[in-house]
């Protein structure tokens, strides 16, 4: 299953791409706003913003690691690189200012749901601190909800949940680059 976004209202429309051949043009009508728009199968202008496919390919050049986002209901996967400083994680919305936007249909993810702050400790290793927004549904680490504005240091492989979506932190051999 694939999904396309309405260019007018940002609503997602899901369809089975296996029924069509590459290069075929399709026309959709958004059920929310009525906007008609077309796409061509196999051609995506949003390829870089969707951040799907191979995590290493999308995170290449990111010296601070990345997060893998798995939307549990629809099994959509996104890979979002992290940068030094505050990485605000939330639901995609035009002009929201979120720098780690998740393209999702999950209504339980807030626009500014949580953040991961990437910094260096006294030894020069990267440190990752997770903090809830505060959000309406909370941020869970190891099945324990973070309190409002509570901060928790997380490591490579940490699984946390926002709304009905799972997020995994990947640091993969990034920490020890300064101690040679």
Which pLDDT does position 62 carry in this prediction?
61
pLDDT tens sequence across 14-51: 888 888 888 788 888 999 899 888 888 765 444 444 44
Instruction: Count the alpha carbons within 13 Å of 142 in the hemisphere toward its beta carbon.
Output: 7
Task: Give Cα separations from 17 to 3, 4, 26, 27, 42 (angstroms).
Answer: 9, 11, 10, 13, 9
CA 177 to chain centre: 26
Residues whose CB falls within 8 Å of the CB of residue 74, separated by 6 or more in sequence, listed in order? 1, 14, 105
Which pLDDT does position 173 carry in this prediction?
55
176 pLDDT more than 70: no
pLDDT tens sequence across 71-119: 877 677 899 999 999 999 998 887 777 889 888 878 889 989 999 999 9
The residue among 117, 139, 141 whose CA lies nearest residue 128 is 117
Q: Which domains are seen in the chain, by residue range?
A: 2-45 (no CATH), 51-178 (2.60.200.20)
Contact 113, 135 (CB under 8 A): yes
pTM over 0.75: no
pLDDT tens sequence across 42-73: 654 444 444 444 444 545 456 789 999 988 77
Can you say whether the dihedral through the CA atoms of 42, 37, 77, 72 is positive or negative? negative
């Amino acid at each position: 299953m694939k999904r396309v976004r309405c260019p007018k209202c940002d609503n997602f429309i899901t369809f089975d791409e296996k029924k069509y051949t590459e290069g075929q043009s399709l026309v959709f009508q958004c059920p929310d706003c009525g906007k008609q728009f077309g796409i061509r199968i196999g051609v995506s202008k949003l390829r870089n913003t969707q951040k799907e496919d191979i995590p290493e390919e999308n995170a290449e050049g990111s010296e601070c690691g990345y997060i893998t986002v798995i939307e549990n209901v629809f099994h959509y996967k996104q890979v979002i690189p992290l940068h030094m400083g505050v990485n605000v994680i939330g639901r995609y919305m035009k002009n929201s200012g979120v720098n780690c936007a998740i393209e999702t249909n999950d209504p339980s993810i807030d626009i500014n749901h949580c953040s991961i702050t990437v910094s260096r400790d006294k030894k020069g290793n990267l440190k990752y601190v997770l903090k809830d927004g505060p959000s309406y549904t909370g941020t869970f680490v190891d099945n324990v909800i973070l309190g409002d504005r509570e901060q928790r240091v997380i490591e490579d492989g940490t699984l946390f949940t926002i709304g009905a979506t799972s997020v995994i932190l990947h640091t993969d051999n990034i920490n020890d680059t300064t101690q040679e």
